[in-house]
Structure 1
């Protein structure tokens, strides 16, 4: 039985702290736990035995809030942060009045990133979200 469990609460602050420690302050608005209007969808897991964690979150730059992709971030128990590469997961962030097609493309990108995360955590047999 795996020690990895879904964590369906707010984004853990340690993701933001470790990312900015490695790449500089202000480089991770997408991981900011103080952002109360968190972009969705996202997913998190925590390893109850080791304290390691993994998150799938929408990623964007300060200059362009509409063009996004999904990032997969792994926190080893000993510190640091790893950026896992799920492949092409880019999409346009749909507004409230945008076409349903953009929402579908976002959800497809999210499913691909989550499948990559689950492959990393549990092996390739568990890619179903």
Structure 2
């Protein structure tokens, strides 16, 4: 049985700290625990036994909040941060007047990134005949 558990509270500050340690201050506005709005949708898991964590979050740059992709970040217990590659997960952030199509594309990209995270944590799904 796996010790990984969903973590539904605010983003773990260690994601932001380790990202900026590796790539520089100000490079991760999407992981900033001080941000007033949480990046949504998102998913997080922690492993209390090892101290590891994994998160799926939308990524954007400070100069373009509309074009996004989902990132999958793994925090190994000993430090550092790994960026896992879930494939193409680009989308346009839907606004209040957006079509249902933009929301569906965002949700599909999120499901793809979460599926990649689950496979990383728990292994591939069983084959069904």
Bin for the TM-score computed over the shorter chain: over 0.9
Alpha-carbon distance in structure 2 between the residues aligned to 1:48 and 1:94: 35
Q: d(CA) in 2 for partners of 1:116 and 1:34?
A: 27
Aligned residues: 126
TM-score using structure 2 length: 0.96
Give the CA deviation at 1:39: 2.2
Listed as ranges, the matches of 1:46-57 within 5 Å are 46-57=46-57
Runs of 4+ in 1 over 4 A off after TM superposition: none
Unaligned residue ranges in structure 1 (runs of 5+): none
Matched residues in 2 for 1:98 and 1:20: separation?
32
Matched ranges for 1:99-114 at <5 A: 99-114=99-114
Distance 1:39 1:77 in 2: 24
Q: Tell me, yes or no, if structure 1 residue 59 matches structure 2 residue 59.
A: yes
The TM-score normalised by the length of structure 1 is: 0.96
State the partner residue of 2:32: 32
Tell me what 1:93 maps to.
93
SS at match of 1:117: helix
Match of 1:14 in 2: 14
Give the secondary structure class of the aligned counterpart of 1:73: strand
Please list every run of 5 or more consecutive structure 2 residues that lacks an aligned counterpart in the other structure.
none
- In 2, distance between residues paired with 1:84 and 1:123? 14
CA-atom RMSD in angstroms: 0.8
Superposition deviation, residue 97 in structure 1: 1.1
